[in-house]
Amino acid sequence: MDDYNYNQDLNYENEQENFNDNEDEEDDNYLQELHLKLAEMKKERKEAQKNAQILDNRINMLKNEEEKRWKNIENKKKKVNEKYIYLKNVADNMKHLENAKLKKEKEIEEKKQNNQKLKNEIKNGIEQKKLKNKIK
Q: What is the DSSP string of 92-135?
A: HHHHHHHHHHHHHHHHHHHHHHHHHHHHHHHHHHHHHHHHHHHH
DSSP string, 32-93: HHHHHHHHHHHHHHHHHHHHHHHHHHHHHHHHHHHHHHHHHHHHHHHHHHHHHHHHHHHHHH
| 60-102 per-position pLDDT tens digit | 999 999 999 999 999 999 999 999 999 999 999 999 999 999 9
Mean pLDDT lowest for which of 21-30, 34-43, 85-94? Answer: 21-30
- How many whole angstroms separate alpha carbon 98 and alpha carbon 59? 57
Hey, what's the torsion of the CAs at 34, 36, 37, 42, to 10 degrees?
120
Q: Does the model's pTM come out above 0.85? A: no
